[in-house]
Amino acid sequence: MFRDFGFIKPHNIVHPEIPKHQHLSPSRFASVGVLGYNCPREKSVMIYVKDVSVEYANGVRALKDTSVTISKGEFVFVVGSTGSGKSTLLKLLYRDMLPTAGTVIVDGENVTAMKPSAVPFLRRKLGVVYQDFKLLPQKNVWENLAFALRVIGTKPKEVHKRIGEVLELVGLTHRCDSFPNQLSGGEQQRAAIARALINNPTVLIADEPTGNLDPTTSWDIVQLLEQINIRGTTVLCATHDSQIVDGMKKRVIQLEAGEVIRDENKGAYQNSES
Amino acid sequence: MKIRVRIKTVNLRNIEFLIEEAFTGIVRNGLMAFASISTIALSLAVLGAFVLAMMGANHFTTEQIDRFEIAVFTVPGAAKAKADALADSIRKIEGIKDVSILDRDEEYAKFKRERPDFESAGLLGNPLPYALRVRIVKADQLTMLSTKIRALADVDHVNVGQETYKRVVALANAIRAISFAGVIILLITTAFIISNAIRLTLYARRREIRIMQLVGATNHTIRTPLVIEGIVFGSAGALVAWILLRLGGGYVVHSAQRITPMFGSFSSGLSGAGLAFWLLLAGAVIGAIGSLVSIRRFLKD
């Protein structure tokens, strides 16, 4: 019925053909499947990127009319060579940048139409893991995690409980007093994943999380991401690591020069047909 | 509406957290804190020293002007009663602080000591008229009051040292103008230096600010601890500047007094507590404004 998300407002969806008492929030709208898009695996949609283009001031086009739909609970690898637009696509999701054209909807919120003051609240719903970890260097592991909780006003008692749980999940309880520069690359990435998980995010976005790690540690990190996915969190992971993508056999979206050239369930790093 | 409620809750619950963040930031960024505080301290000390020197110079010249007196001499041969009556008449004039009649014999004795040749000339008796020393309330009324006194009966001569007075007043005005311009220029320069020092501190922490944004901290949550830090830096710098000024200022005034006793009364007129208050206020305000202005650049999304 409605093939375009253009009419969606972030907090209220109203359409003259729907009686007022049936007006729904965007997330519920998506979950009941009335938006009319081709919903993969009949699940509710977590990430919807429609006809998105990103053009930099120097004229370089990082993304060209790209459309991607990711369902709740999926584990998706985004692959492609350097400059293919992987990081740009991820940055659009946590509103680190805005597209030149197109619409981005994450967990029912129209990220492109969002007011700047609402951006921090979007980011609290997402967990983001970076190649360079981005841990606060002046804080130890425990404080890095506590900071992410305290900024959203979590009570100190709840902070202690939650940090204990997450550190156990990532296997870093014994290093909670260490500062980032006292940790190995793998430990830093575990700390970064712990921070990304601390707010129970609906989506975990990982931008080349194994880029600075050796193969064994990389594999451990990806196993950890899979565990997190099994618990119900949607995971979107941009990577260059062919061994990991081939070993995991998850959905693979391949970008090339800003365009999606392949979207394959249980895909491999390289196109199986090539 | 939902988001608004959330922001309000965060504000109330997080005050303790934000203050804690500010002090953790200061302790963990010790070197940058030291650089900022020392820059602020030196800038405020230079500004403070200049302001104190200018206040002292103003105070000194005003005091010199206030010391100007009017010397009134009665007509030769006037009796003591006439001098008393003249003193009473002068006291009645508005703007007169006090009038004293100099002891005529004492003045003559002094005169004879200074000019023994007059004694040898065979002068008989005390030839001096009565002299009245008139102190006035406002130095700028000197000319007007001397004219009024001159018009009174039994007045032979009125001496106001008009030329010297004019020169001192012109000097005082020049000092005031220069000091005002100097304070303004130095104030702008100090504010610029301090805000630059704070900007450098924040620049060193731009990565930290960026990470805070990425984990979902609102601008308010990022800004508040950094503004508190700016206030703490400014106040700590002011405290150091105060110590420097108290020690250095005391030494300079003491040395000046030893060289020229005239500087015995050289003082800014500002107490130690008053100086501390103004320095702390200046430090805290410049620190807060410097932080606020600098953070704005880093918070632009």
b/e map of B90-116 (b: 16 or more CB within 10 Å)? beebeebeebebbebeeebeeeeeeee
Output the pLDDT for position A126: 92
The label of the residue with tokens 């403070």 reads B48
Cα separation, A50 vs B188, whole angstroms: 52
Instruction: Please tell me the distance in Å from A50's CA to the nearest CA on chain B.
Output: 23
Give long-range contacts, CB 8 A cutoff, 24+ apart: A245-249: A245/A77, A245/A79, A245/A269, A247/A219, A247/A222, A248/A75, A248/A77, A248/A222
Can you tell me the ipTM of this complex?
Answer: 0.76
Q: Quick one: closest CA in A to B10, which residue? A: A153
pLDDT digits (tens, 9 = 90+) for A225-270: 898 899 899 999 999 888 899 988 999 999 999 999 999 888 777 7
Residues in B touching A142 (Cβ below 8 Å):
none
Residues in B touching A147 (Cβ below 8 Å):
212, 215
Residue A264 near residue A252, CB atoms below 8 Å = yes
User: Which region holds residue A80: left if phi is over 0, alpha if psi is between -120 and 50, else beta?
Assistant: left
Under an 8 A CB cutoff, do B28 and A138 touch?
yes
Residues 216-235 of B with CB under 8 A from A: 216-219, 221
- Choose the closest CB to A123 out of B13, B14, B214: B214
A–B interface: beta-carbon pairs under 8 A: 67
Q: Which residues of A touch B (CB under 8 A)?
A: 11, 94, 96, 116-124, 128, 134-139, 143, 147-148, 150-153, 155, 195, 199
Instruction: Please tell me the distance in Å from A271's CA to the nearest CA on chain B.
Output: 34
Q: What is the dihedral of CA A161, A166, A168, A174, to 10 degrees?
A: -80
Is residue A123 packed enough to be buried (19+ CB in 10 Å), middle (13-18) or exposed (0-12)?
buried
Sheet holding B69-74, edge to edge: B96-101, B131-136, B69-74, B155-159
Cα separation, B165 vs B142, whole angstroms: 9
Instruction: Please tell me the distance in Å from A5's CA to the nearest CA on chain B.
Output: 23
Q: Quick one: closest CA in B to A153, which residue? A: B10
Q: What is the dihedral of CA A95, A97, A99, A102, to 10 degrees?
A: 0
Return the number of other C-beta atoms located less than 10 Å from residue A34's C-beta: 15
Residues in B touching A117 (Cβ below 8 Å):
3, 218-219
Question: Would an 8 Å CB–CB cutoff place B33 in contact with chain A?
Answer: no
Q: What contacts B181, CB < 8 A, 6 or more positions away? A: none
pLDDT digits (tens, 9 = 90+) for A144-175: 999 888 877 788 888 999 999 989 888 889 99
Output the pLDDT for position A11: 35
Question: What are the structural domain ranges in chain B?
Answer: 2-64+168-299, 69-160
* Dihedral pair phi/psi, residue A45, rounded to 5°: -90, 130
Q: What contacts A98, CB < 8 A, 6 or more positions away? A: A92, A112
Residue A17 near residue A78, CB atoms below 8 Å = no
Q: What contacts A131, CB < 8 A, 6 or more positions away? A: A207, A208, A209, A211, A212
Question: Would an 8 Å CB–CB cutoff place B10 in contact with chain A?
Answer: yes
Length of chain B: 301
* Chain B interface test: which of A94, A132, A151, A157 (most B C-beta within 10 Å): A151
**Average pLDDT for residues A117-123, to the nearest whole number?**
91
C-alpha distances in angstroms, A112 versus A6, A104, A234?
Answer: 11, 6, 20
Q: Quick one: closest CA in B to A117, which residue? A: B218
Helix (H, G, I), strand (E, B) or coil at A154: coil
Residues in B touching A134 (Cβ below 8 Å):
207, 210-211, 214
**Average pLDDT for residues A113-142, to the nearest whole number?**
90
Average pLDDT over all residues of chain A: 81
Per-residue pLDDT of chain B in tens (301 residues, 90 and over written 9):
444 444 444 455 567 777 777 778 778 777 888 888 998 899 889 888 888 888 877 777 777 777 778 888 888 877 888 888 888 888 888 888 888 888 877 877 887 777 777 665 566 677 788 888 888 887 778 888 888 888 887 888 888 777 777 787 788 888 888 888 988 898 888 888 888 888 888 887 788 888 888 888 888 888 888 888 889 989 999 999 999 988 887 777 677 667 666 555 556 666 778 888 988 998 999 889 888 888 888 886 4
Residue B70 near residue B158, CB atoms below 8 Å = yes
Length of chain A: 274
pLDDT digits (tens, 9 = 90+) for A62-113: 999 999 999 999 999 999 988 899 999 999 999 999 999 999 999 989 999 9
User: Which residue type, as a one-letter code, is found at position A247?
Assistant: G
Residues in B touching A199 (Cβ below 8 Å):
216
Question: Would an 8 Å CB–CB cutoff place B128 in contact with chain A?
Answer: no
Output the pLDDT for position A10: 34
Cα separation, B230 vs B285, whole angstroms: 9
Is residue B190 packed enough to be buried (19+ CB in 10 Å), middle (13-18) or exposed (0-12)?
buried
Q: What contacts B138, CB < 8 A, 6 or more positions away? A: B95
C-alpha distances in angstroms, B21 versus A45, A106, A182, B31, B149?
Answer: 38, 31, 22, 17, 72
* Pairing state between β A126-130 and A203-207: parallel
* Chain A interface test: which of B215, B222, B224, B296 (most A C-beta within 10 Å): B215
Instruction: Please tell me the distance in Å from A208's CA to the nearest CA on chain B.
Output: 16
Residues in B touching A143 (Cβ below 8 Å):
24
**Looking at domain B69-160, does it have CATH number 3.40.50.280?**
no
- Choose the closest CB to B208 out of A94, A138, A150: A138
Under an 8 A CB cutoff, do A148 and B214 touch?
no
Dihedral (CA of B270, B273, B274, B279) sign: positive
Cα separation, A264 vs A230, whole angstroms: 20
Residues in B touching A138 (Cβ below 8 Å):
24-25, 28-29, 208
pLDDT class for A26, splitting at 50, 70, 90?
A: very low
Residue B221 near residue B14, CB atoms below 8 Å = yes
Q: Quick one: closest CA in A to B222, which residue? A: A151
